[in-house]
């Protein structure tokens, strides 16, 4: 139960906090303590109308700002984000549970997209063809869409909004953020930084809510595009409903990322990397490694070393010095993860390291799950088929690289994958034949830098354009081609033709 002094997190509209009409609230929990640390006010469809009205007016003004002025706001925002990193990381750690250092890391990754968006003068440059036809020039420009929305998941309260809004905003749009109800405060903090940076009121808004607000966003005629990051089931709904309403949609979904380990790989290096990639952020990253496919005789050495690495992980409350990973997000999430480990065990897997029933002294009520290693999970088990989204790695044995590639390609998800090997030919075959959007060679979590776009294949992304980078610019702008003739004082020499003629 919350106390009467629990702070209320409200919406952010028109450059300030906005209470709106909603009376319903949800508790905000600290997953390390299971304590309620705030209340979230949920918006209504009337609040959504208000947000879109304010954003529409703001977009008309902001879209006419010079690129130089827009870029100046981005630089000011960047400076404020750096100065406020610790404060923002504390908010992330308290609501999400990840370690303070990892929270700072996610802000740094988001900052890279801000850096990228600061190149707007180059990114938004059009193209020009002189004398495309006799006396005729052609040029193409990219213009903003108007009001765009971002719907974000719990696992990156700052980084994922920053995958979207810097590019959307610098391109001249107004941006409406609908954060996850589980981690709502960081969105408001970002909104305040945008205002301090000199962004005109209404260009960045935050509207809190659940499924009804998401549906309202998808159906709203005043919103031109929707960027979504979350689970696959919801991503599919977003894509279908949003495109039906005539919107541009990019919807990034879940993952089950496999790493292939060749027998020639340096097993110490592999185990160290896999432990960080599987257990970091308690496995609640869409690019976490959840399955290691050991080829040939790699398996026994790999299991021993990953178990050793898993035992060394310091599981603690996120702000504890030296903590490697914190709790998972909710009680339901902890129960689900433990249930899936048990399912895997019942289906025939060996639990080589068991994180069930894990407690941290002083935080006995927290939603902790310890690092877990499952050996030989049957492919038919729900423990293999489902995205566990917890600190669990499954180690599977195959005989050849081809079998390993086939296994990855048979998986419905296609977000990230990696190979560990010293053999360049094996790595090249892997990178060419694997049906996955983001591929690492001896890099376990191959999240692209901000000037390359981020996105998976298959059930990990619905839509054509990936997020941030060059695809981000394309997504948040619309192309226009202008064909121009300026008759000189003699006028146009020939009579207009009724036919298509050679230019
Ligand atoms: P989620 O799908 O439950 O929620 C995401 C957003 O959708 C939230 O804002 C939530 O309020 C809203 N939402 C939830 N259910 C809805 C419904 N039925 N209808 C409409 N809106 C709904 O995801 P989550 O649990 O917050 O985040 C974890 C998931 O996100 C994992 O599957 C993870 O792999 C995925 N993820 C993917 C990427 C990627 O880049 N592909 C990145 C981060 C997270």
Same domain, 277 and 176: no
Q: What's the angle, vertex CA 371, arms to CA 315 and CA 99, rounded to 5?
A: 35
Rg (CA), the chain: 25
Q: What integer pLDDT is reported at residue 2 of this predicted model?
A: 43
User: What is the pLDDT, as a whole number, of residue 147?
Assistant: 99
Residues whose beta carbon lies within 6 Å of some atom of ligand 1: 151-156, 160, 178, 180-181, 210-211, 214, 229-231, 234, 237, 252-255, 286, 387, 389, 415, 456, 460
**Residue with token string 């108007």:** 146
Q: Which residue's alpha carbon is at the smallest distance from atom 30 of ligand 1? A: 230
Q: What is the arithmetic mean of pLDDT over 440-452?
A: 97
Tens-digit pLDDT profile for residues 345-355: 999 999 999 99
Q: Does residue 298 have a pLDDT over 70?
A: yes
Of 172, 184, 156, nearest in space to 224 by CA: 172
**Phi, psi values for residue 105, rounded to 5°:** -60, -40
286 is a catalytic site residue: yes
Identify whether 496 is part of a domain: no
Checking if the pLDDT of 1 tops 60, the result is no
Tens of pLDDT, residues 344-400? 999 999 999 999 999 999 999 999 999 999 999 999 999 999 999 999 999 999 999
**CATH code at position 29:** 3.40.605.10
317 and 427 inside one domain:
yes
- Quick: pLDDT tens for 307-324: 999 999 999 999 999 999
The reply to whether 206 falls in a domain is yes
Q: Is residue 182 part of a domain?
A: yes
pLDDT in tens, 15-71: 999 999 999 999 999 999 999 999 999 999 999 999 999 999 999 999 999 999 999
Q: Are residues 197 and 266 in the same domain?
A: no
DSSP of 133-182, one letter per residue? ETTEEEEEEEEE-SEEEEE--SS-TTHHHHHHHHHHHHTT-EEEEE--TT
- Provide the pLDDT for residue 499: 86
Q: What's the confidence (pLDDT) of residue 492?
A: 64
Same domain for 47 and 193: yes
- Site to probe by mutation for ligand 1, drawn from 43, 162, 234, 334 as the one with most ligand atoms within 8 Å of Cβ, is 234
Q: pTM for this one?
A: 0.97
Co-location of 332 and 394 in the same domain: yes
In the predicted structure, residue 428 carries a pLDDT above the cut 50? yes
469 or 503: which leads in pLDDT: 469
Helix axis angle for 267-279 and 298-311, nearest 10°, is: 50
pLDDT in tens, 236-291: 999 999 999 999 999 999 999 999 999 999 999 999 999 999 999 999 999 999 99
Same domain for 249 and 262, yes or no, is: no
- Structural domain count of the chain: 2
Within the chain, how many helices (H) and strands (E) appear? 16, 23
pLDDT reported for residue 224: 98
Atom of ligand 1 nearest to the CA of 253: 41
| Domain of residue 317, residue span | 257-441
């Amino acid at each position: 139960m919350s106390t009467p002094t629990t702070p209320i997190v409200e919406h952010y509209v028109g450059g300030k906090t906005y209470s709106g009409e909603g009376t319903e609230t949800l508790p905000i929990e600290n997953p390390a303590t299971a304590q309620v640390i705030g209340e979230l006010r949920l918006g209504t469809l009337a609040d959504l109308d208000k947000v879109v009205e304010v954003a529409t007016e703001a977009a008309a003004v902001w879209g006419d700002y010079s690129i130089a002025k827009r870029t100046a706001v981005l630089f000011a925002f960047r400076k404020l984000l750096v100065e406020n990193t610790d404060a923002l990381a504390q908010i992330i750690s308290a609501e999400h549970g990840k370690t303070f250092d990892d929270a700072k890391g996610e802000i740094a990754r988001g900052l890279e997209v801000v850096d990228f968006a600061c190149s707007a003068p180059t990114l938004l440059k059009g193209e020009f063809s002189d004398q495309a036809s006799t006396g005729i020039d052609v040029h193409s420009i990219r213009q903003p869409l108007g009001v765009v929305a971002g719907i974000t998941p719990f696992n990156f309260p700052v980084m994922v909004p920053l995958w979207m809004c810097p590019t959307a905003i610098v391109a001249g749009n107004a941006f409406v953020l609908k954060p996850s109800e589980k981690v709502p405060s960081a969105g408001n903090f970002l909104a305040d930084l945008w205002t301090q940076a000199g962004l005109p009121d209404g260009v960045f808004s935050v509207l809190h809510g659940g499924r009804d607000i998401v549906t309202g966003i998808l159906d709203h005629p005043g919103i031109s595009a929707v960027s979504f990051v979350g689970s696959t089931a919801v991503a599919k709904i977003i894509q279908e409903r949003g495109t039906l309403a005539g919107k541009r949609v990019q919807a990034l979904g879940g993952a089950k990322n496999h790493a292939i380990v060749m027998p020639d790989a340096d097993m110490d290096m592999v185990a160290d990397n896999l432990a960080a990639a599987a257990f970091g952020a308690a496995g609640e990253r869409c690019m976490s490694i959840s399955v290691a496919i050991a080829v040939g005789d790699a398996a026994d050495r790999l299991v021993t070393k990953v178990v050793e690495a898993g035992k060394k992980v310091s599981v603690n409350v996120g702000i504890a010095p030296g903590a490697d990973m914190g709790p998972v997000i909710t009680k339901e999430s902890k129960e689900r993860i433990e249930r899936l480990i048990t399912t895997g065990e019942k289906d025939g897997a060996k639990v080589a390291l068991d994180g069930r029933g894990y407690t941290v002294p002083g935080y006995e009520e927290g939603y902790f799950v310890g690092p877990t290693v499952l050996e030989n999970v049957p492919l038919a088990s729900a423990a293999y088929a489902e995205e566990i989204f917890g600190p669990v790695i499954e180690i599977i044995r195959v005989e050849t690289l081809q079998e390993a590639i086939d296994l990855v390609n048979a998986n419905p998800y296609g977000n990230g994958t990696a190979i560990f090997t010293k053999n360049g030919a094996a790595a090249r075959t892997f990178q060419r034949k694997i049906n996955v959007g983001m591929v690492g060679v001896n890099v376990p979590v191959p999240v692209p830098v901000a000037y390359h776009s981020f996105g998976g294949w298959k059930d990990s992304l619905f839509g054509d354009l990936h997020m941030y980078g060059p695809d981000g610019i394309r997504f948040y702008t619309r192309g226009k081609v202008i064909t121009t003739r300026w008759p000189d004082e003699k006028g146009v020499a020939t009579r207009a033709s009724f036919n298509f003629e050679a230019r």
